[in-house]
Amino acid sequence: MNRDWLLQCFEKELPGEAAHAPYKRYRQQFEESHAAQAKRPAAVAIHFYQKDTNWYFILIERSTYNGQHSGQMAFPGGKPDPTDLHLEFTARRESFEEIGIPINNGQQIKTLSNVWIPVSGFEVSPFIFLHEEAPLLQPNPREVQQIFSIAISELLKQESCIQKDIHIPGGAILKDHPCFVLQEKIVWGATALILNELKLLLKEL
């Protein structure tokens, strides 16, 4: 799994909806009712780096707050500021604000399929960044509870994909909902959709 291997993985055609479909069962009940809703742009960053012979990417656990994404596992990211030049800059700026990666660090090598989040109205663009070495990370405690470095090998394990009851804000429970379990943390929702597309691209060529 050298740098050329990783770049080759991201030369593949994006699977898009085929990758998202298995992880969007909960969302389907909202998509039709929100179909006419205006989509608001947002961006997330997927930071890759190599350590020894392994490749890693970064996930965060969001801080607890009064909101729909409280405490969830996610990629660093958010909505654009009025002064952002474009969504790639948004992904870079949010990475700096949330986990301390300097805005100019990392080569942007791929953009994954957009993910629409009906309950919030955001359409998220996931940008992939390649780093020559492990970035120094500093969580912003207002937004980030913890930072996780996830090995590609962990994502690709069959046992990382499970079905589990998910407790969501408001007290509802999603029964046997598809999700990922990475470093004992449950990852579902929009982040799981992005992860599954990532997983399909990273499978052996």
- Residue 36 vs residue 82, higher pLDDT: 82
pLDDT at 76 over 90: yes
**Structural domain includes residue 181:** no
Query: Does residue 11 fall inside a structural domain?
Result: yes
Sequence-separated (6 or more) residues with CB below 8 Å from residue 44: 74, 75, 76, 77, 91, 94, 124, 125, 126, 127, 194
Q: Is 167 within a domain? A: no
Rounded distance between C-alpha atoms, residue 75 and residue 92, angstroms? 12
CATH number of domain containing 45: 3.90.79.10
Residue 162 is assigned to a structural domain of this protein: no
Range of the domain at 59: 3-157+188-202
- In the structure, what pLDDT confidence band is assigned to residue 204 with cuts at 50, 70 and 90? low
Q: Is residue 114 part of a domain?
A: yes
> Is residue 177 assigned to a domain?
no
**What is the rounded distance in angstroms from the CA atom of residue 24 to the CA atom of residue 19?**
10
**pLDDT tens sequence across 124-175:** 999 999 999 999 999 999 999 999 999 999 999 999 999 998 887 667 788 8
Contact yes or no for 5/179 (Cβ under 8 A)? no
Task: Inform me whether the pLDDT recorded for 191 exceeds 60.
Answer: yes
> Which helix (H) or strand (E) element contains residue 26?
none
- Going by pLDDT thresholds of 50, 70 and 90, the confidence category of residue 106 is very high
Cα atoms in the 13 Å half-sphere on the side-chain side of 65: 11
Query: What mean pLDDT value characterizes the chain?
Result: 90
* pLDDT, position 131: 97
pLDDT value for 65: 61
How many domains are contained in the chain?
1
Query: Which pLDDT band, with edges at 50, 70 and 90, does 29 fall under?
Result: low
Is residue 83 very low, low, confident or very high in pLDDT (cuts 50, 70, 90)? very high
Average pLDDT (20-39) is 71
pLDDT of 67 above 80 = no
| CA pair distance 148, 186, nearest whole angstrom | 12
Q: What is the model's pTM?
A: 0.92
pLDDT at 79 over 90: yes
How far is the first Cα of the chain from the last one, in angstroms, to the nearest whole number?
11
pLDDT > 70 in the chain, percent: 89
